[in-house]
Chains A and B, each alone.
Chain A
Amino acid sequence: MKKTKASLAVLLSTSLLFGCSQEKEEVKPADKNAKETSASASALDDVSSEYREYAIGEIEEFVKATEEFTTAVTSGDIEKAKEVYAPARMHYERAEPIAEVFGDLDPKIDARKGDVKDEEWGGYHRIEMGLWEENTTKGYEEYANQLMSDVNLLRAKVETVEVTPDLLITGAVDLLNEVSTSKVTGEEDRYSHTDLYDFVANVEGAEKIYELLTPALKEKDEKLVTEIQQRFDDVYSLLEKHKEGNGYTSYTDLKESEVKELSQAIDALAEPLSQIGIVTEES
């Protein structure tokens, strides 16, 4: 869950709820200086709409996977629920730059214990606690139903998001910042310890943005592209070591030195990735 953007996003989505639904939401850059230039603007607009398609696709997958997850919970199939929990969340984590725009839904779906008041706490992590800590689905049916309806609402709202180049540029690094501040510390999935799934999904989400921007980036700075690619490869080859079956090892099985290694690889990637704003410059 993202805390920092909540206020802006809440504002956006309340205006939506109050009947502006025919208007497209726009994520405006905070700084008036932050406008991109005309030369590359149209190319960037294309990239933005391609990204929008990708993100919506992920959210659609997320809806399906959440259906599977919540059905397992309501029907008391605890094994099934545990099995689909982490892979389902990956779709959400990939599309996080878009999903988190809805500051009212993001906490409902993805808040961790302590992020919101206890009596308001629901969503994935609440059910995660039931499944792994209490080893039960009993008493969690309501949370499952609520989660499903929140995710459906997210799907409906996501249509209205307009992706700006700015959202893309900050989104890629934001995804990695998410990894640095919560996934790599094991604080995201503190009951299931499936943090590495979220980790991978965030990295994949960032990679998607990078891929879409690559042609534009290449024109500005070939070396930067090679460097970023190399660093993605480094991160993936580290992650490779922690694969287990179709998924990833439990966070608790990582050694301290392995966590540090992962964290430093993300820093090494995020530094050059933070330069992608160069695409907004006139050549």
Chain B
Amino acid sequence: MKENTPNDETSLFTKKVSRRNMLKTAGVGGVGVVIGASGFGGLLNLSDSKANGQTNDVVPFYGANQAGITTEAQDNLYFAALEVTTDNKSDLIQLFKDWTEAAAQMTAGKLVGEASLNTSMPPKDTGEAKELSPSNLTITFGVGPTLFTKNGKDRFGLKSKKPAELKDLPKFPLDALEDSWSGGDICIQACADDLQVAFHAVRNLVRIGRGKTIIHWAQTGFQRTKQADSQKTTPRNLFGFKDGTANPDKKNSSEMNEHVWVKAGDGPDWLVGGSYMVVRRIQMYIEVWDRTILKEQENTFGRHRDSGAPLGMKNEFDKVDLEAKDKNGNRIIPEDSHMSLSRGDGKAKILRRPYSYADGMDPKTGSLNAGLLFICYQRNPSKQFVPIQERLAKNDKLNEYIIHRGSAVFACLPGVKKGGYIGESLFR
């Protein structure tokens, strides 16, 4: 991330110099000479996001859909669920405008705001992503049911626009949800191949929202890095299994249209091109899993651990036959395995985009506090996530080793064109 830094050019100190102005003036040519060799050399790079040789780690921010949904999962996640504290609708709209601008800058690898030379003010950008490449940063915004109505109150006159699908999930058996890990009026999902870049994004957005929003809960997440796995095989979760094998194909737009993007007629028009996100914060009992014999581990998922192949098969992407029997006539893939139950008849599909988390030690038990921030996208939660989770909650073998601690649903807004702002269709 680049900017022009304040330097010793004291004659300039008193003037408000914005990056935009500098760009303009530098473009004229003459002024650049006046500034001379005063250290504004970096300026020439400002409009050039490829300056440090990173040509291919920018994910476009603008588009028909928001980035960060069908984008190939980056290495790191910083997720924040916010509560809106202002009750002024125009404040809220302004916030989305400011966020859009900042998000467009940050995803392009630029710093937030205009660099100011006034040392009597805190810097606009918090600075920790300076010099860092864009790292494929994506920032995805969603709105929760409570942005529309809370305690029966129509908060911003948006009640009539609330989609029927945007509501709390039903209570599932074994749920152990905690308020402090559930819900939220707005979500920000920042993903990047560098955790510092992702943190920087959320931090600056939260800062811009200060006084209008507060953090309700937040979670970092990770996967193996691309450096650590140059083959880019399917990442493994903290139980050591490849996770993501049977996901629908993100590159196949007709599949995405069928399962992920909200279409005209699905609900209110403002959400067309958006997607419903379901988040579950699922704690994993690491110690219990570690003392489980391999056969049991594999029966739990219905797949081989090392290859990721369906039980009885060789390779990860071999065809899954849930009915396949061994010579005694027993199913090879147990009916209560995670794969059998989550697949069901195979019709309802979700796009999973989970990240592992590890939050130190559980102070109560002394065990590792780790798990999965399960994030998935779909057109219609009550036809997709809900029936799958109903089956899992009832019978999944995996339930011995996990517990759901948090839950939230957000409508991720449609994408934005240059000049527009995220949420425009909703607020208009």
Contacts and interface: CB of A to CB of B under 8 A. Distances in A.
B118 A31 contact: no
A277 B211 contact: no
Contacts of A34: 119-120
B121 A268 contact: no
Interface string A128-155: 0000000000000000000000000000
B95 to A, nearest CB: 13
Interface of B: 6, 8, 10, 13-16, 85, 117-122, 207, 210-211, 214
Interface in A244-278: 264, 267-269, 271-272, 274-275, 277-278
13 contacts: A33-B10, A166-B120, A227-B211, A271-B207, A271-B211, A274-B121, A277-B118, A277-B121, A278-B118, A278-B120, A278-B121, A282-B15, A282-B16
Given A33-B6, A277-B120, A271 B210 contact: yes
Listed from nearest, the 4 A-B pairs whose CB atoms lie closest are A277-B120, A268-B211, A277-B121, A271-B210
B119 A33 contact: yes
Contacts of B122: 274-275, 277
Nearest to A261: B214
Nearest to B214: A264
Contact of B120 (A267, A268, A269, A280): A280
A37 interface: yes
B121 A275 contact: yes
A166 B118 CA distance: 12
B119 A231 contact: no
Contacts of A231: 211
A281 interface: yes
A176 interface: no
A281 B15 CA distance: 7
Contacts of B6: 33
B211 A281 contact: no
Contact of B13 (A33, A274, A278): A33
Given A37-B14, A282-B15, A31 B119 contact: yes
A169 interface: yes
A77 B41 CA distance: 70
Contacts of B207: 271
Contacts of A227: 211
A36 interface: yes
A267 B210 contact: yes
A269 B85 CA distance: 13
A255 B371 CA distance: 30
Interface string A53-78: 00000000000000000000000000
A23 to B, nearest CB: 25
B121 A272 contact: no
A37 B10 CA distance: 11
Contacts of A268: 85, 210-211, 214
Q: Which of A33, A35, A267 has the most CB of B within 10 A?
A: A33
A209 to B, nearest CB: 13
Contacts of A36: 120
A31 B117 CA distance: 12
A281 to B, nearest CB: 6
A282 B15 CA distance: 7
A263 to B, nearest CB: 10
Contacts of B14: 37, 281-282
Nearest to B208: A271
B120 A272 contact: no
A88 to B, nearest CB: 33
B214 A281 contact: no
Nearest to B212: A268
Given A33-B117, A35-B13, 11 more contacts: A34-B120, A36-B120, A169-B120, A264-B214, A268-B214, A271-B207, A271-B210, A274-B122, A277-B122, A278-B120, A280-B120
A281 B210 contact: no
A203 to B, nearest CB: 15
Nearest to B211: A268
Given A36-B120, A277-B120, A277-B121, A272 B10 contact: no
